[in-house]
């Protein structure tokens, strides 16, 4: 099976779900308010959305903003850590790839600035 | 010395206690965290939008935490800065022609005599706004003292297939389940070493996942020997032990096997994890041949201990100390670091869990604010902190990383996830006498040069390189600066537009 959100009706924390909708490469994806973009994507059964240098698929690894595996473009903002950014209704998310000649290589991240 | 300005970075158990301690000593406090809610990883809260009526269902020590939170956030002298990232610490520089030390040569940084005349802590550069957004507000704080309580993240050793989607750090699985009620899979295996395996298993079970196995890589003998030394110290950590006992009971109730001396040595799948290979390990973590078993899974959660987030302490110039479990910030009896006005608390000083982090934080905050060093309460905090430290040492002994773990690597195993540098490339670099110095190896393999800036692979690459080349990890290469593994002058990403925008005064609404 796959990642999913605990059903609100049976959730021990007693929560309210307010739906929101984002688009991912133009396709609508439904989530609930308060989720991170990574949470929305995972719960919609998208385990991977970024491609590494070899083209290998990547999604969430560390979940707390350390590994940068889950980077996406949100609107005009490139390289947003999906695990740290709360989704907002209407967010336009574009996936990124570091593969040379990959489908979306316009999103090749700029080289990190801190190494000489 | 009344009304000192204290900046606390990190609002987990240590940072929150530091804020409380500093406020109690009469200071003004700015409490900064990158998340939108306080609590850190340990007390990770549900989003406000969930309007949870029973949030305590997922928390330990919720009442005490809420009480502390109210005292801190409700205090008139406390400014709570959520969604705020400290992207740089700028040390006071005696040279008149410089106003920034962001590009300073690390050799100069290590000169202990440089800032003897400069007792002030570093300037704190903050970005305020949604994570990795553009147009966040840039501002600078100049506190009288700084408390760093930035915490740690999972250390994960590489194994074949660990880069497949569906392989998560244990912390990720925990954060998603606890923080937004997303469960990472339905058939999960949890593997690695340390007591953190248990709360992660508990979180997944609570969220309705099937946990097939919890695998502790260390053998029962190693674990028992580590925990049973000086057992009287354990009594002081009764809260922690009780929490662990609860998790163990939960595993029993769900009939989840907890196996020792076994781990995941490979993850396989087409585009996502579909199965794992587990194997029995000897005490040094070498694989027992023929003990491999294959198991169908859709999620793997791994942790091999914790890496402290050291970029801010290193930027502040704090000395580190080497321990069994790796490098941590060195602190004195009052949680003061080697730099004047800079204090440290929580997992960056040693991984000892939330109770110890709270004691360290309270002590750091109180002393940073100039509180009396010799009251009964302070002595109690020191005792509690010392018990925490003893607990940390015991933990490190019971759950070490076995020296033979590289035995499960293959030439094509990815070691640096960002740059996809494989084990073979590290071996090649190490075999070349010029290439074996850490700096050269890094440039030759690109390991550690990707977006995460070696936060994930750094300790692993350093260890492998030292072993493969037989040279110490900090060996110098001619013409290159000495390796400085935790040096990240930009502690968090900042966009050029934000850097170019004029800084704004700190305390406007």
Q: Give the A:B interface size as CB pairs under 8 Å.
A: 184
Residue A70: pLDDT over 80: yes
- The answer to whether residue B450 neighbours chain A at the CB level (below 8 Å) is yes
Short-list B94, B74, B273, CA closest to B167:
B273
pLDDT of residue B210: 96
Instruction: Note whether B417 contacts A1, CB cutoff 8 Å.
Output: no
Reported residue count of chain A is 116
Indicate the residue of A15, A47, A80 with minimum beta-carbon distance to B131.
Answer: A80
Contact B264, B161 (CB under 8 A): no
Short-list B490, B409, B395, B458, CA closest to B153:
B458
Residues of chain A with C-beta less than 8 angstroms from the C-beta of B186 = 1-2
Domain range list for chain A? 18-100
- The answer to whether residue B490 neighbours chain A at the CB level (below 8 Å) is yes
- The answer to whether residue B330 neighbours chain A at the CB level (below 8 Å) is no
Interface of A with B in 3-62 (CB under 8 A): 3-6, 11-18, 32-36, 38-39, 42-43, 47-48, 52-54, 56-62
Q: Which residue of A has its CA nearest to B134?
A: A77
- The answer to whether residue A102 neighbours chain B at the CB level (below 8 Å) is no
Residues of chain A with C-beta less than 8 angstroms from the C-beta of B413 = none
- The answer to whether residue B206 neighbours chain A at the CB level (below 8 Å) is yes
Tell me which H or E stretch contains B246: helix B238-253
pLDDT of residue B239: 65
Distance CA A32, CA A44 (A): 11
- The answer to whether residue A112 neighbours chain B at the CB level (below 8 Å) is yes
pLDDT of residue B477: 66
Tens digit of pLDDT for each residue in A72-82?
999 999 999 99
For the domain with range B5-152+307-397, which CATH number is right: 3.50.50.60, 3.40.50.10860, 3.30.470.10, 2.40.50.140?
Answer: 3.50.50.60
Question: From residue A76, how far is each of A5, A71, B130, B497 by CA, in Å?
Answer: 28, 13, 14, 13
Which residue bears the tokens 């990472």? B184
Indicate the residue of A60, A77, A114 with minimum beta-carbon distance to B453.
Answer: A114
Domain range list for chain B? 5-152+307-397, 156-304, 409-469
Distance CA B131, CA B456 (A): 20
Q: What would be the CATH architecture of the domain defined by B156-304?
A: 3-Layer(bba) Sandwich (3.50)
pLDDT of residue B431: 84
Instruction: Note whether A69 contacts B417, CB cutoff 8 Å.
Output: yes
For residue B191, the distance in angstroms to the closest alpha carbon of chain A comes to: 15
Which residue bears the tokens 């406020």? B23
pLDDT of residue B248: 83
Enumerate the H helices of B346-492 as residue ranges.
354-368, 376-398, 423-431, 438-445, 458-469
pLDDT of residue B436: 62
Distance CA B424, CA B445 (A): 10
pLDDT of residue B171: 97
Q: What percent of chain A has pLDDT over 90?
A: 82
Residue A106: pLDDT over 50: no
The residue ranges of chain B whose pLDDT is under 50 are 1, 95-101, 103-116, 509
Indicate the residue of A38, A79, A113 with minimum beta-carbon distance to B490.
Answer: A113
Question: CB atoms < 10 A from the CB of B20, how many?
Answer: 25
Indicate the residue of A1, A5, A114 with minimum beta-carbon distance to B186.
Answer: A1
CATH number of A18-100: 3.10.20.440
pLDDT of residue A109: 47
Contact A87, A22 (CB under 8 A): yes
For residue A28, the distance in angstroms to the closest alpha carbon of chain B comes to: 19
Helix axes B354-368, B376-398, angle to 10 degrees: 140
Per DSSP (E only), the strands in chain A are 4-5, 19-24, 27-32, 48-51, 57-59, 71-74, 77-81, 92-94
pLDDT of residue B238: 60
Residues of chain A with C-beta less than 8 angstroms from the C-beta of B52 = 13-15
Instruction: Note whether A68 contacts B451, CB cutoff 8 Å.
Output: yes
Ramachandran assignment for B305, one of left (phi > 0), alpha (psi -120 to 50 degrees), beta (any other): left
Q: If DSSP codes are grouped into helix, strand and coil, which group holds residue B253? A: helix
Helices (H) and strands (E) in chain A, counts: 1, 8
Which residue bears the tokens 């198991």? B295
Max alpha carbon distance in chain B (Å)?
68
Name B167's bridge partners: B300
Distance CA B148, CA B151 (A): 9
Question: CB atoms < 10 A from the CB of B508, how many?
Answer: 7
DSSP B450-476: STTTTTTTHHHHHHHHHHHH-S-TT--
Tens digit of pLDDT for each residue in A16-60?
999 999 999 999 999 999 999 999 999 999 999 999 999 999 999
Distance CA B74, CA B233 (A): 36
Phi, psi of B235, deg, nearest 5:
-55, -35
pLDDT of residue B390: 86
CA B225 to chain centre: 26
Q: Which two tokens stand for residue B475?
A: 């060996």
Describe chain A by its helix, strand, coil percentages, rounded to 5: 10, 30, 60
Describe chain B by its helix, strand, coil percentages, rounded to 5: 35, 20, 45
Q: If DSSP codes are grouped into helix, strand and coil, which group holds residue B431? A: helix
């Amino acid at each position: 099976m796959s990642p999913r959100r605990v059903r609100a009706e049976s959730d021990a924390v007693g929560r309210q779900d307010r739906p929101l909708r984002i688009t991912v490469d133009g396709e609508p994806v439904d989530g609930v308010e308060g989720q991170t973009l990574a949470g929305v994507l995972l719960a919609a059964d998208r385990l991977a959305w970024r491609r590494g240098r070899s083209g290998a698929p990547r999604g969430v690894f560390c979940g707390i903003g350390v590994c940068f595996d889950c980077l996406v473009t949100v609107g005009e903002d490139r390289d947003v850590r999906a695990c740290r950014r709360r989704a907002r209704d209407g967010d336009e998310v574009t996936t990124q790839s570091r593969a040379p000649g990959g489908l979306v290589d316009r999103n090749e991240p700029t080289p990190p600035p801190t190494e000489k | 010395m009344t009304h000192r300005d204290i900046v606390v970075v990190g609002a987990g158990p240590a940072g929150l206690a530091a804020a409380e301690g500093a406020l109690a000593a009469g200071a003004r406090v700015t409490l900064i965290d990158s998340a939108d809610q306080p609590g850190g990883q340990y007390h990770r809260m549900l989003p406000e939008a969930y309007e949870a009526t029973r949030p305590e269902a997922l928390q330990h020590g919720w009442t005490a935490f809420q009480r502390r939170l109210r005292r801190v956030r409700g205090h008139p002298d406390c400014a709570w800065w959520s969604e705020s990232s400290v992207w740089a610490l700028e040390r006071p520089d005696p040279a008149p022609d410089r106003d920034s030390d962001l590009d300073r040569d690390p050799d100069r940084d290590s000169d202990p005599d440089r800032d003897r005349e400069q007792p002030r802590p570093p300037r704190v550069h903050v970005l305020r706004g949604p994570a990795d957004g553009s147009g966040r507000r840039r501002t600078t704080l100049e506190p009288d003292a700084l408390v760093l309580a930035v915490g740690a993240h999972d250390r994960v050793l590489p194994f074949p297939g660990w880069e497949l989607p569906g392989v998560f750090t244990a912390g990720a699985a925990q954060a998603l389940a606890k923080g937004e009620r997303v469960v990472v899979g339905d058939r999960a295996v949890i593997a690695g070493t340390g007591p953190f395996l248990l709360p992660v298993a508990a979180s997944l079970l609570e969220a309705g996942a099937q946990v097939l196995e919890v695998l502790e890589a260390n053998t029962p003998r190693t674990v028992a020997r580590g925990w049973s030394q000086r057992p009287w110290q354990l009594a002081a950590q009764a809260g922690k032990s009780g929490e662990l006992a609860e998790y163990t009971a939960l595993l029993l109730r769900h009939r989840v096997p907890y196996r020792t001396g076994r781990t995941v040595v490979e993850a396989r799948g087409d585009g996502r994890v579909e199965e794992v290979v587990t194997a029995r390990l000897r005490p040094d973590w070498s694989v027992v041949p023929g003990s491999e078993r294959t198991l169908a899974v859709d999620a793997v959660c791994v942790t091999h201990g914790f890496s402290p987030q050291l970029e801010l302490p290193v930027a502040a110039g704090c000395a580190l100390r080497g321990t069994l479990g790796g490098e941590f910030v060195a602190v004195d009896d009052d949680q003061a670091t080697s730099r004047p006005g800079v204090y440290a608390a929580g997992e960056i000083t040693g991984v000892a869990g939330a109770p110890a982090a709270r004691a360290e934080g309270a002590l750091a905050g109180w002393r940073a604010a100039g509180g009396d060093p010799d009251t009964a309460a302070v002595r109690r905090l020191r005792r509690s902190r010392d018990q925490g430290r003893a607990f940390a040492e015991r933990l490190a002994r019971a759950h070490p990383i076995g020296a033979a773990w590289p035995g499960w690597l293959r030439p094509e195993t990815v070691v640096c996830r960002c740059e996809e540098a494989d084990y073979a490339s590290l071996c090649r670099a190490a075999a070349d006498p010029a290439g074996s110095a850490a700096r050269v190896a890094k440039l030759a393999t690109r390991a550690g040069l990707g977006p995460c800036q070696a936060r994930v692979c750094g300790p692993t690459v350093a260890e492998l390189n030292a072993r493969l080349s037989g040279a110490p990890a900090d060996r110098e290469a001619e013409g290159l600066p000495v390796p400085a593994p935790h040096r990240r002058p930009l502690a968090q990403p900042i966009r050029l537009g934000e850097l170019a925008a004029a800084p704004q005064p700190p305390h406007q609404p």
